[in-house]
Amino acid sequence: MSQALIQAGSKLLNALGRHSDLIMQAYVSGHVNEQEYSKKVLEQLVQLQVLWRPEPQSPLRLKAAVRTLLEGSLQDERNRTINANIGASLASLKTLTEHYKEALHYNRFNEAHAHMSDLTEHVYQLTESLANSVRVMFSRINNEFGYVSSVEAKIRENELAQSQVSELLTQLECFRFDELSELAGSNRELRQLLVVALQQNFSKAAQELSVAQARLLELLGRFREFQGRTRLLKGFLLHMEQQPDFTPGNYANLSDVPVLFNQAGGMLNEASADVNNVEHEQDLQQLVGALTDIHRRQPDAEKHQPASEIDVSEQDTISLEKAPVQLAVEAYFCQVIDSGQPCSALTYYEAQQLDFDPEVWLYQVIGGYQALNDQDKQYFALDPTGEAHAIFNGNFYINDITLGLR
Amino acid sequence: MMSEAGRILSQLLEGKFICQVTDEEAWRFLKRRENADTLEPHLNMLNRTLASSAEGEVFFAAYLTLGEAERKTLLNQFQETTSSLVPLVEWLILVQQAGEADVPVTMGSAIRLNELQSVIEDTPAYAEQLEKISRYRLFNSTSVNLDGQLKQVFKRLTDLGYLVKPNTDKQIYLATGRIEHLYDVIKFIDETESLSLSEQAEAAISQGSLI
């Protein structure tokens, strides 16, 4: 490389750095606002081939090379152009290879070395441009053409992308690896460049492009569906505006209701607590314990009832009526007292022709005797007549009771 | 504890729509033929059957045979559906137009309430449209300010199952499969009544462009 070339290059890069705001403004807005910058600066940039004027009246614009550089480095999604000219690149590769082989043949090693580095540059350029094209394609697919708003525009963008993908795929067919491999011959370096590097990138690009193509078709389908839905909704509203009293036929009345309108009503309700289930006892207790406020419904009547008057008159005495069997027992005791003779309870029972159960009568007599206070009890003697049980000792069966005075 | 099948069965019996957005696990469960077959006898016992719409994206319980009572329920439902079509469609179009991407609301689309609100606030035509929508009986808003109207509309739509709010703290709503069901209903009406709605819309658009 000559010294002059290096100097010119660094001069250009310096100019780019110095006027970066101008260049970025031109990149974003598409042209340079010439009033804002000095004429000298603009002229310098035009001379350096950074800016150019497409027509005498039009404003200054960025050169395509600078724009491509920025788009590539910034990964700007506005970059929609895809360099699909693989055929031309391949032709130049072949030419350079011939140069290299010829130089080697005549032992001009310096020249061969220069050709080799040139060739390397071209090969990597080609692979990079391939990878770049695929990347651009995918970034557009991934944000679903977000840079345009309407669905129609998205569909157009999609169609453009599809044509670019198919163009790229046809260009990829230009790769003839048998030819390249023949060209490289037995030279190791050439084989590395022309066969290995290119083939790897080729297969990667082809694979990704086919995926991209499938995604694009899928997206197109979705956009078309969106379009259809939008039309459906708008058409419905339009129809309702034109015929406000439109009602669809009553599909629920048809003998065979379409499944869309056959939607069963909800039927499940909450279950209730089962207080008899022992397993739930713990949980229910916890629930009750966690209650902070029990909303008992207050009976309304209580609130509004006037205070009742307090009755202070003397209460009537209540006489408890005795049961007939008790009266009969009293009469029996009185008769024993009156006659002064002991008398068996059952004899009295028969004499008076009482109609209680005899056993109840006996119990009542014993009860009546026991109910007397101790002083009264001393006047009477109560003798049970009966027999001991034949087998079980200590059991005594009472048949009758004789009551007498002591 | 209730098994997964039991949980899904009870959701179906409650009259819920099951889609990928509302309950992904249940939706995956029902997507498998053999799982759906295990639920079918239980549903049949209650005169119901598993039905799906929107190309199998939404599941719900439908009646197996239609008697008097079932028809009555369906008639009520149908009347409700038809009367809510216009408000819902107007709402869908409003959301689509106010959204940046001009993409119709479909199952899974996220609607950010704050963004929507700021767009509607900045565009008087949308604000007017929202006011009109919120006054429909379906949404029944009495609010005079835009914020209240929008919140009421979204609350009602969430109650009706058209939207879900995955995070209660954030004002982001997801459209459910019921929206797809709604599209299906409109498509069905379009086809059965031969309204050719799409053609009407297209004709109106091309006429508009001529003027």
DSSP B169: T
| Amino acid A1: pLDDT | 56
Condensed to tens digits (0 to 9), the pLDDT of residues A157-205 reads 888 888 888 888 888 888 888 888 888 888 888 888 888 888 888 888 8
Average pLDDT for residues A60-87, to the nearest whole number? Answer: 73
Strand spans (E) along chain B: 48-53, 58-63, 110-112, 163-164, 172-175
Most confident of A140-154, A246-260, A271-285, A301-315: A271-285
Percent of chain A with pLDDT over 90: 0
At B141 the pLDDT is 85
Question: Are B140 and B157 contacting, i.e. CB atoms less than 8 angstroms apart?
Answer: no
Contact between chains at B74 and A263 (C-beta distance less than 8 A): yes
Is A267's CB within 8 Å of B14's CB? Answer: yes
Q: Residue A30: what are its φ and ψ, rounded to 5°?
A: 95, -20
Average of per-residue pLDDT across B134-140? 88
Would the pLDDT of B76 be above 60?
yes
Q: Output B185-190 pairs: Cβ under 8 A, ≥24 positions apart.
A: B185/A260, B185/A261, B185/B81, B185/B85, B186/A232, B186/A233, B186/A236, B186/B85, B186/B89, B187/A232, B188/A258, B188/A260, B189/A248, B190/A232, B190/A235, B190/A236
Residue A131 has pLDDT above 50, yes or no: yes
The model's confidence at residue B209, banded by pLDDT at 50, 70 and 90, is low
Q: Which of A235, A250, A265 sits opposite B197 (nearest CB)?
A: A235
In this prediction the pTM is 0.60
Give me chain A's average pLDDT, please. Answer: 82
Residue carrying the six token digits 């016992």: B45
What pLDDT does A145 receive?
78
What the block records as the tokens of B10 is 């009870």
* For testing contact with chain A, the best of B47, B50, B100, B186 (most A CBs within 10 A): B186
Chain A residues with CB under 8 Å of B177 CB are: none
Residue B46 contacts A where some CB pair is shorter than 8 Å = yes
Q: What is the pLDDT of residue A305?
A: 64
Cα(A232)–Cα(B199) distance, integer angstroms: 9
**Does residue B69 belong to the interface with chain A, where contact is any CB pair within 8 Å?**
no
Nearest residue of B to residue A223 by CA position?
B103
Band (pLDDT 50/70/90 cuts) for residue B211 is: very low
Cβ atoms of residues B4 and B29 within 8 Å: yes
Classified as helix, coil or strand, B110 is: strand
Distance CA A37, CA A44 (A): 12
* Residues A63, A50 contacting (CB under 8 angstroms): yes
Q: Could you tell me how many CB contacts below 8 A there are between chain A and chain B? A: 133
Give the residue-averaged pLDDT of B81-92: 90
Instruction: State pLDDT tens for residues A361-375.
Output: 888 888 888 888 888
Side-chain half-sphere CA neighbours of B101 within 13 A: 15
Contact of B178 with chain A, judged by CB distance below 8 Å, is answered with no
Q: Report pLDDT for A75.
A: 67
CB A342 within 8 A of CB A403: yes
Chain A residues whose CB is inside 8 A of the B81 CB are: 261
Using alpha carbons, select from A167, A173, A162 the residue that is nearest to residue A212.
A162
What is the sign of the dihedral through the CA atoms of A387, A389, A393 and A397?
negative
Residues 114-173 of B with CB under 8 A from A: none
Q: Which residue has the higher pLDDT, B10 or A145?
A: B10
Does the pLDDT value for residue B210 go beyond 60? no
Over residues A93-105, the mean pLDDT reads 88
Find the chain A residues whose C-beta atoms sit closer than 8 A to any C-beta of B: 146, 149-151, 226, 228-240, 247-253, 257-268
pLDDT confidence bin for B163, thresholds 50/70/90:
very high
Residues A232, B63: C-beta atoms closer than 8 Å: no
Check whether A229 has a pLDDT greater than 80.
yes
- Give the model's pLDDT for residue A147: 76
For residue A355, give both structure tokens: 């109609």
Stronger pLDDT, A5 or A301, i.e. the higher one? A5
Closest chain A residue to B189, measured at CA: A248
In this complex, which of A233, A240, A249 lies closest to B92 when CB atoms are compared? A233
On the question of pLDDT at B174 being above 90, the answer is: yes
| pLDDT score of A121 more than 80 | yes
User: pLDDT confidence of A299, banded at 50, 70, 90?
Assistant: low
Q: What is the pLDDT of residue B69?
A: 86
Cα dihedral across residues B81, B85, B91, B95: positive or negative: positive
- For β-strands B58-63 and B48-53, DSSP reports them as antiparallel
Res A124 pLDDT > 50: yes
Query: How many percent of chain A have pLDDT more than 70?
Result: 94
pLDDT tens for residues A333-342? Answer: 888 888 888 8
pLDDT bracket for residue A40 (50, 70, 90): confident
Of the candidates B15, B134, B21, the one whose C-alpha atom is nearest the C-alpha of residue B77 is: B15
Read off the pLDDT of each residue in A313-339 and give the average, rounded to a whole number: 80
Closest CA to A329 of A351, A355, A362: A362
Residues of A in contact with B53 (CB under 8 A): 259-260
Cβ contacts of A229 on chain B, cutoff 8 Å: 104, 106, 183
CA distances from residue A277 to A52, A177, A286, A290, B119 in whole angstroms, order as listed: 91, 82, 15, 20, 58
Q: Across the interface, do B14 and A248 touch by the CB < 8 Å criterion?
A: no
pLDDT at A279: 87
Backbone angles phi, psi at B38, to 5 degrees: -70, -30
Note the pLDDT of residue A340.
Answer: 80
Instruction: Report how far residue A141's alpha carbon sits from residue A213's, in angstroms, rounded to the nearest whole number.
Output: 10
**CB contact at 8 A, A151 and B103:** yes
Contact partners, residue A405, CB within 8 Å, separation at least 6: A336, A337, A340, A342, A379, A380, A381
Which of A230, A238, A249 is facing B104, going by the closest CB pair?
A230
> In what helix (H) or strand (E) does residue A51 lie, and over which residues does it extend?
strand A51-52
Per-residue pLDDT, B158: 92
pLDDT band at A398 (very low <50, low <70, confident <90, very high): confident
CA distance A150 to A142: 17
What is residue B92's predicted lDDT score, i.e. its pLDDT?
92
Higher per-residue pLDDT: A144 or A155: A155
Amino acid at B127: A
Vertex A98: Cα angle to A97 and A99 (nearest 5): 90
Q: What is d(CA B155, CA A355) in angstroms, rounded to the nearest whole number?
A: 84
User: Which of A237, A242, A246, A279 would you mutate first to test chain B, the one with the most B CBs within 10 A?
Assistant: A237
* ipTM value: 0.84
Among all residues of chain A, which has the CA nearest to that of B193? A248
pLDDT of residue B157: 92
